[in-house]
Structure 1
Amino acid sequence: MLTADDALGFVINAVARKFSQLFNIRFKAFDITAEQWSILSKLVEHNGITQRELASITEKDANNITKLLDRLEKKGWVRRVDHPLDRRSYALHVTEEGEQLAAKLKPLDQKFAMELLTTLTVDEVEHFQKTLRKINLVLSDKISKP
């Protein structure tokens, strides 16, 4: 019989929480959290998108995005500008300082992820990622069609 510790949701949450905790410890000197990095790194890839688009691609709710953007903007890494096609929206842009920080952090982040996966083979990592993506798609589908 499975215990609560064996439940898929518990295991996934425990791993994600520990991943974030270790990230926050390792990247504290850069004054950025795992959650802030997830936003900044996506904005570097998709500079100029709206908050709604950012919420969609990061799978975060709008209120959380607003709070994170407030922090990133206060740190000088992101700026909101009036959207050229939609007066109700802002276009999100990474500042020069944000770009420089992201350029420093990206290789460190990749090294961090690789360090955590050293006990797995390349095939195991690919299979694991593929499985998680499948689970994510099923969950997204069930959420959108209750």
Structure 2
Amino acid sequence: MRDFYDDVTFRTNVVARKASLGLQHGLERFAVTPEQWSVLNVVDQKAPISQRHVAELVEKDAPTVNRIMDVLVRKNLLEKAVDKKDRRITLLSLSMEGKQKVQLIRNVVEETCSHFYRGISDTELGVYLNVLARIENNLE
């Protein structure tokens, strides 16, 4: 059984690394990393959103998200605003340039993912997602 668990763990790591590299390759033309994309994607879906909430959703610590956010602001993709109700909170939203770039990136990400999952049915992906969620739950 140990060899089976070793094989599952090894294959999982290999696939995760290849998927990350594939996504990174697709994002290179936009000068955006997968980590930056995860922040842009969340902000696009939830804006205006606090930095703390972004960190929770992308499962990264606050200092990491702060660095990513600063880079994205310098690239004119994100805008920061102080929350009118609580001045301690910084709210993030996409800039006009960010909105345009996110749509282009989303198309590439969807194309990349459809390549990753070619020949796999939605039902199979659902089972896979369920198994991954259970493994993640066991890890917590």
Q: Deviations over 1:1-20 (max 9, x none)?
A: 32885253x54343222212
Deviation of 1:72 (Å): 0.7
Aligned partner of 2:61 in structure 1 is 61
Aligned partner of 2:127 in structure 1 is 127
Aligned partner of 2:16 in structure 1 is 16
Separation in 2, partners of 1:13, 1:49: 32
Aligned partner of 1:6 in structure 2 is 7
Separation in 2, partners of 1:130, 1:35: 24
Q: Structure 1: which 5+ residue stretches go unaligned?
A: none
Extract structure 1 runs of 4+ deviating beyond 3 A: 10-14
Aligned partner of 1:92 in structure 2 is 92
Separation in 2, partners of 1:50, 1:113: 28
Q: Deviations over 1:88-141 (max 9, x none)?
A: 1100111000000011111221111010011322221111112112323343xx
Comparing 110-119 with 92-101, which one deviates more in the overlay? 110-119
Amino acid at match of 2:114: M
Q: TM-score, with normalisation over the residues of structure 2?
A: 0.88
Aligned-residue CA RMSD in angstroms?
1.9
Separation in 1, partners of 2:101, 2:117: 24
Distance 1:84 1:14, change over 3 A: farther
Deviation of 1:31 (Å): 0.7
Separation in 1, partners of 2:54, 2:68: 11
Distance 1:5 1:90, change over 3 A: same
Q: Which has the higher contact order (CA 8 A, sep 6+)?
A: 2
Q: TM-score, with normalisation over the residues of structure 1?
A: 0.85
Q: Percent same amino acid at aligned positions? A: 27
Separation in 2, partners of 1:2, 1:63: 39
Separation in 2, partners of 1:16, 1:80: 32
